[in-house]
């Protein structure tokens, strides 16, 4: 009986070793591909971070120069006196109030800090029938 046990153990050992070889043949390429893709992910992350920092530096420097150029262009625009003739489509009450307030504020020449007082007769009359209110 000992020969049968030896044969049985050799068969079991052969099955075990063949399954180990088959697993190694299947898993090693998959592990190599996993290592390749993980390395690619790390490299792409490095380049992404480096390019982001480079782009951020370029953006910050361009923002600095564009602020200076916009400021120089804005300094060349003449100051407005706040008075302009309203067009036909600018006859809204909110624009009228803004013009009235800006005129009152500019007429005081920034000398005192009193509040601007508007009386009820100065406020525009709004025709509620003209306003379109959406019905829900």
φ/ψ of 30, rounded to 5, equals -65, -40
DSSP letter assigned to residue 22? H
HSE, CB side, 13 Å, CA atoms: give it for residue 104.
14
pLDDT of 123 over the 80 cut: no
DSSP letter assigned to residue 123? S
Task: Read off the pTM.
Answer: 0.38
Tell me what the mean pLDDT of segment 21-27 comes to.
93
| pLDDT tens digits for range 51-94 | 999 999 888 887 777 777 777 777 777 766 555 555 544 455 55
Domain ranges of the chain: 1-77, 81-136
Dist CA 69 CA 21 (whole Å): 71
116 φψ region: left (φ > 0), alpha (ψ -120 to 50), beta (else):
beta
Q: Kindly report the average pLDDT of the chain as a whole number.
A: 75
């Amino acid at each position: 009986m000992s020969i049968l046990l030896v044969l049985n153990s050799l068969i079991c050992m052969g099955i075990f070793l063949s399954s180990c070889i088959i697993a190694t043949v299947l898993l090693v390429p998959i592990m190599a591909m996993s290592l390749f893709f993980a390395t690619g992910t790390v490299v792409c992350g490095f380049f992404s971070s480096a390019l982001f920092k480079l782009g951020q530096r370029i953006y910050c420097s361009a923002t600095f120069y564009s602020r200076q150029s916009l400021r120089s262009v804005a300094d060349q625009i003449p100051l407005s006196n706040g008075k302009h003739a309203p067009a036909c489509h600018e006859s809204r009450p909110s624009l009228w109030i803004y013009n009235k307030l800006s005129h009152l504020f500019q007429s005081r020449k920034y000398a005192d800090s009193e509040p601007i007082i508007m009386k009820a007769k100065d406020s525009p009359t709004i025709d509620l029938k003209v306003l379109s209110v959406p019905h829900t």
